[in-house]
Structure 1
Amino acid sequence: FLLTANYTGGSVSVHPVGRDGALGEATDVVRHTGSGPDPERQEGPHAHMVVTDPGGRYVVAVDLGTDTLHTYRLDPRTGTLREHARAATRPGAGPRHLAFHPSGRHAYVVNELDSTLVACGYDAREGILTPGTPHPTVPRTGRAAPTERNYPAGVVVSPDGRFVYVSNRGHDSIALFAAECGGAALRPVSVTPSGGSYPRHIALDPSGGLLFAANQKSGTVTAFRVNRRTGRLTPAGAALAAPVPVCVLPV
C-alpha cells in the first residue's frame, strides 16, 4: 500500500500497489478533525506527514493543524486504517515531520510553528508516542537569533542514531543535536548555515557521511561532509543549481 498525507484536506489516504507497481483506487481516506490556536495556519486539520514505524506494525500521521500525532493500524486485507492512539504536542507547536531512532524506541518531531524539536518515547508494542521537552532549533537571543520568522522543515537521524539534524527555513541553517541516553534525550550542538535560502528538505546519504540540503528559494542543493565523531557539518564543494528544489533523495 501507498500512504499519503494530504495537507489541505487534513486527511490520510491509502492506495493499493499492484504487482506491476500501478496504483489502484483509494481503499481508505481518513479525515482528521479539530484546529489549533494559530488562526492563520491551524484553522483546521493539516496532515503533513505519514510514515510506518520501524517494525511495520503501526502508521503514524503528523497533523500540523491540530497539534496531534495519530497512530493507526493498517488492515493488510482491506487497506483500511483504524485509529489506535493519539498524542498531543504543545498547543500552537505545529508538528510537521517525524523521524524514528534506529532503535525504534524513540522518535523526533520537528514543530514548524514554534521552531522546536521534541524527542518522543515510543512503545513499539503498543504504538504509543510520548512527547518530551521541546528544544529550540535556532538561537533565541544574540547575534545568531533569527531576524525573521523561522519555519523548521526536515528532520533526519544519523544511521548510528547518535545525531539528529533539522533544517531551518528563515534562519537558513541546519541545527545539530546529539541524541543521548540511547536516543531519549537531545542536546543542542551547533547551527550551520545551509549555504542557500529556505532549506526545505535535508537528507543523509546511505552511509551517513554526506548531508544534502534542498534550498528552495535560492535554487540550490548544497552538500556537507559529516564528522562521524562529532556530527558537525562542513561544506563539500560547490552547490548544485536546481530550479525550486524541495526534496532531495540520495541513492
Structure 2
Amino acid sequence: MTSRELWIGTYPVAGAGTPVGRGEGVWSVPFDDETGALGEPRQVATVPSPSFVAQQGARLFAVVEDDPGAVVGFPVDGPDRAASLVPSAPVPSGGAYPCHVVATEHALLVANYGSGTLGVLPLDAAGSLTAAAPEVHGHAGSGPNADRQEGPHAHFVALAPGGRHVLVVDLGTDQVRRYAWDGRTATPDGIAVTFPPGTGPRHLDFSPDGRFAYVSGELDVAVHVLAWDAATATGTLVQSVPAVVPAVVPAVVPPGSDEGARVDGDATGQAGSGDDVLPSHLVLDGDQVLVTVRGADVLTRWQVGTDGLLGAGTSHPLGGHWPRHFAVVGAWVVVALERSGELVVLSRDGAVRGRTALPSATCVLPRA
C-alpha cells in the first residue's frame, strides 16, 4: 500500500453563503495511490469556512471565506501526521469572501471574490504569515448578467508561464487581469484576456509548453481554449466547447439572470433535476483537460490535440451533488462533492471506484 494524505477544505455544513463558524474546518484523509481507496476522514483543524487551501513547504494555508476575509496558516512539518493543526492568528485577505489562494516562496496571492480584489500577503523568512498589511489591487467593470456580474469578482489566481506575471480570472468582468510580478510585489499591467460578454470565467490551467491556456466558463457553461503569447502574457480565444457532453443548454445566459444555464438533460441524455449548471474547477492532466460541472454533477474529459484544441469530450456522472473542486492524484481523480457531503474517486476511464462521507467538501489538496 502506498498511502498519502489529502487536505480537504470545507464550507459551513449549511452551505456557501450561510454564517461561518459552525464547526467547519480542515480535514485530513488517507489515500492509497495504488488502489484509489480513501481512508477515514478526520477533522484536524476548526476554522471558519476554509473553502480553499494551499501548501508551501512546511506551511498549509487556508482562506476564511467571509466578509471581511482572512487567511490562516498551519505548520505541517511535524512527524505525527495524525496530529491536529494549530492555526495562526488570522490576517486580512485584502478583501471580501476570499475563494482561492496560491502560495509562492515570499507571498500568498489571494482572489477575493466578493470585493473583486487581489490580495498579496507577505510571508516571512520561515514561510509564515506576517502582521504586515496586504497589498491590495482592485478593479472596475461589469458584465451583462446583472446579478452575477454587477462588478468585478476575482475567482482564481495563477502565475503565467515564465513566472513574470500574476493572472487574476475575473468572473464579473469577463476578463483575465494581468500584473507584473517580481516574486514579492504585483504591479497592474493591463488585461491579458477579454472573453465574450457573459462568459463568467472561473478557473484556468496552462499547457506544459505554455502555448495554450484552458478556462472554465461558469456562466456560459463552456470550456475555452486560448492561444497564449508568453512574451506579452496575452491570450487569444481560439475554441469554445460545451462543458457537458452531450447536453442541451441555452446558448446565451439572459442578461439580468442570477443563474447559469439550466440543464435539459444529464450526461446520459435523461431529464435533469432543474439545478443550475455551473462549471467549476479545471485541470490539464497530461494530454487531457478535465472540468467538473455542478448541477449536471459530472466530470467532463477532453483529449487535447497536437494543435492544442479539444477533441471529443465525455462527461462522467459522479453519483453525487455539486462537484466544486478536484485533484488529480496519480492515476486517480478525487472530487469534492459539496452538497452531497462526500469525496468520490474516479479512475482514468471515468468509473467511480470509491467514496467517503465528508461534510461540505470544497477543496482537495494532496499533501506536499
TM-score, normalised to structure 2, is: 0.62
Q: 2:292 matched to 1:170? A: no
Structure 1 position 179, deviation (Å): 0.9
Instruction: Give the whole-Å Cα distance in 1 for the aligned partners of 2:219 and 2:270.
Output: 19
Instruction: Give the whole-Å Cα distance in 2 for the aligned partners of 1:36 and 1:156.
Output: 25
Deviations along 1:32-55, whole A, 9 cap, x unmatched? 100000011001100001111232
Deviations along 1:15-47, whole A, 9 cap, x unmatched? 111112222324521101000000110011000
The 8 Å contact of residues 334 and 343 in structure 2, kept in 1 or not, is answered as yes
Structure 1 position 246, deviation (Å): 0.3
The more displaced of 15-24 and 1-10 is: 15-24
Opposite residue 127 of structure 1, the aligned amino acid is: A
Instruction: Say what the alpha-carbon RMSD is for the aligned residues.
Output: 1.6
Q: Which position in structure 2 is the counterpart of 1:19?
A: 125
Instruction: Give the whole-Å Cα distance in 2 for the aligned partners of 1:204 and 1:44.
Output: 33
The 8 Å contact of residues 99 and 155 in structure 1, kept in 2 or not, is answered as yes
Q: 2:364 matched to 1:236? A: no
Q: Which position in structure 1 is the counterpart of 2:226?
A: 120
Aligned residues: 239
Of 299, 304, 315, the residue aligned with 1:179 is 304
Q: Taking structure 1 as reference, are residues 145 and 250 closer, same or farther at Cα in structure 2, changes over 3 Å only?
A: farther
Opposite residue 314 of structure 2, the aligned amino acid is: S
Q: Which position in structure 2 is the counterpart of 1:222?
A: 344
Opposite residue 207 of structure 2, the aligned amino acid is: H
Instruction: Give the whole-Å Cα distance in 1 for the aligned partners of 2:247 and 2:169.
Output: 25
Structure 1 position 134, deviation (Å): 1.5
Q: Which position in structure 2 is the counterpart of 1:148?
A: 275
Q: Which position in structure 2 is the counterpart of 1:229?
A: none
Opposite residue 240 of structure 1, the aligned amino acid is: T
Instruction: Give the whole-Å Cα distance in 2 for the aligned partners of 1:26 and 1:56.
Output: 24
Instruction: Give the whole-Å Cα distance in 1 for the aligned partners of 2:270 and 2:165.
Output: 40
Structure showing greater radius of gyration is: 2
Instruction: Give the whole-Å Cα distance in 1 for the aligned partners of 2:182 and 2:135.
Output: 10
Q: Report the identity percentage.
A: 38
3-state secondary structure, aligned to 1:167: strand
| Structure number with higher relative contact order (C-alpha < 8 Å, ≥ 6 residues apart) | 2
Structure 1 position 80, deviation (Å): 3.4
The 8 Å contact of residues 74 and 82 in structure 1, kept in 2 or not, is answered as no
Structure 1 position 144, deviation (Å): 4.5
Structure 1 position 7, deviation (Å): 0.3
Instruction: Give the whole-Å Cα distance in 1 for the aligned partners of 2:208 and 2:361.
Output: 27
The 8 Å contact of residues 13 and 26 in structure 1, kept in 2 or not, is answered as no
Of 172, 187, 203, the residue aligned with 1:97 is 203
Structure 1 position 175, deviation (Å): 0.7
Instruction: Give the whole-Å Cα distance in 1 for the aligned partners of 2:160 and 2:176.
Output: 13
Q: Which position in structure 1 is the counterpart of 2:160?
A: 53
The 8 Å contact of residues 303 and 313 in structure 2, kept in 1 or not, is answered as yes
Q: Which position in structure 2 is the counterpart of 1:248?
A: 364
The 8 Å contact of residues 73 and 84 in structure 1, kept in 2 or not, is answered as no
**Runs of at least 5 residues in structure 2 that lack an aligned partner in the other structure:** 1-106, 249-264
Structure 1 position 114, deviation (Å): 1.0
Structure 1 position 145, deviation (Å): 6.8
The 8 Å contact of residues 214 and 222 in structure 1, kept in 2 or not, is answered as yes
The 8 Å contact of residues 166 and 186 in structure 2, kept in 1 or not, is answered as no
Instruction: Give the whole-Å Cα distance in 1 for the aligned partners of 2:290 and 2:173.
Output: 24
**Runs of at least 5 residues in structure 1 that lack an aligned partner in the other structure:** 227-231
Instruction: Give the whole-Å Cα distance in 1 for the aligned partners of 2:209 and 2:271.
Output: 33
3-state secondary structure, aligned to 1:22: coil
The 8 Å contact of residues 326 and 334 in structure 2, kept in 1 or not, is answered as yes
TM-score, normalised to structure 1, is: 0.90
